[in-house]
Amino acid sequence: MYKIMTPGPTQVKENIRLARARECTNPDLDETFVEFYRETCRQISRLLHTENETFILDGEGILGLEAACASLTEPGDRVLVLDNGVYGKGFADFVSLYGGNPQLYTVDDRRPIDPQKLEHHLQKDHDYKYATLVHCDTPSGMLNDIHTLCPILKKYGILTVVDSVSAMFGEELNVEKAQIDLVCGGSQKAVSAPPGLTFVTISQEVKKVMADRKTPIASFYANLKVFEGYYEAKWFPYTMPISDIYGLREAFDNIEKDTDILNRHARIGNACRQALKGAGLKLHLASGFSNTVTVFDVPEGVKAQDILSIMREKHGIMLAGSFDNLAGQVIRIGHMGSNANVKDMTETMEGLEQTLRQLGVPLKCSLKEGFCQLVD
């Protein structure tokens, strides 16, 4: 078995695995499960600092992103797609799929979106039904300041849709403070449950937009409106994955008890970045570093796959490359959720140091020692 130090899926704790092994009831008929589901949804909303309603969907995080666009988009709607990364740009595909007209706001993909420049753009053009924004764009590790950007969008009457799958619970996320209308999370990132579930938290304004549509939502499975009134009717639109949700609940119980979670992510993220820089490696981003994933450029004369293979085969540690325009160019270290602990990160930095030295990469100092000194 490899130690999974990737930016999702992450390591899964034993209590979560055991929760998934609980005896199953029939989630379609047993009202105790309806109560359990609702309590879990309310717990998620509470952890996100909002009274907005949450739904858990039976599908990986991408389902939540598509469901957001499917539920809000009508043919011809202009949608502002804030693009400074692979996933940011990817929202345009979902908007187009449901007949919308995506308007890309494309900026430097090595820096976070500048609030002042965004406002300047909106002063000239703000006729958008909603805007999409990625909190942490995982392929590059880019972190956008949603608590500043979303209120600017709301100032111009634009609904805000945020993908926080890779940032949630590793970075600050306060839905009310950020004025987020719809936010998506996923089970396999900092939540540290197995992949397979997404959860979506929606405002009253989103519910009104869905209710006032002139055209039906062009999907069933990616349709958030089908959950309307589920609790009162004690009825789900499809059979819920009960074992997955048992595990998810245990993961959120872990998060609720973990009062140091954001500080720990910040300490480990900073120590990882500074250790890499101190050793002479180049961080991929110029700024906007997420505390859930660190991304560095593959050193000259070395292949990404060689680094990944040696880390797995010799050190038993799984890191990640990237994809799209970053394929083969960077290495990603996931220090989110259960991965965000000093012991596993120390082993990771030691293994990476030995791997790079084996490949002939000159290092100015020890990655392991640098990390340990910085994280204390």
Element (H, E) at 54: strand 53-57
Tens of pLDDT, residue by residue over 274-293, are 999 999 999 999 999 999 99
Q: What is the pTM of this model?
A: 0.96
What is the per-residue pLDDT for 284? 98
- Six-digit token pair at 181? 């209308």
User: How would you classify the pairing of strands 136-137 and 142-143?
Assistant: antiparallel
Phi and psi, residue 106, nearest 5°: -100, 125
Given a cut of 90, whether residue 271 has pLDDT beyond it is yes
pLDDT tens digits for range 287-316: 999 999 999 999 999 999 999 999 999 999
Angle between helices 86-97 and 61-72 (to 10 degrees): 50
- C-alpha to C-alpha distance for 184 and 207, rounded to whole angstroms: 15
Can you tell me the distance from the alpha carbon of 110 to that of 267, in angstroms, rounded to the nearest whole number? 22
- Counts of helices then strands in the chain (DSSP H, E): 14, 13
pLDDT-derived band at 82, boundaries 50, 70, 90: very high
Tokens of 366: 């020890």
* 3-state secondary structure at position 4: strand
How many residues in the chain?
Answer: 376
CA separation for the pair 334, 332 (Å, rounded): 6
* Residue 1 in this model has a pLDDT that exceeds 90: no
Amino acid identity for residue 148 in this structure: T
Residue 376 reports pLDDT greater than 90:
no
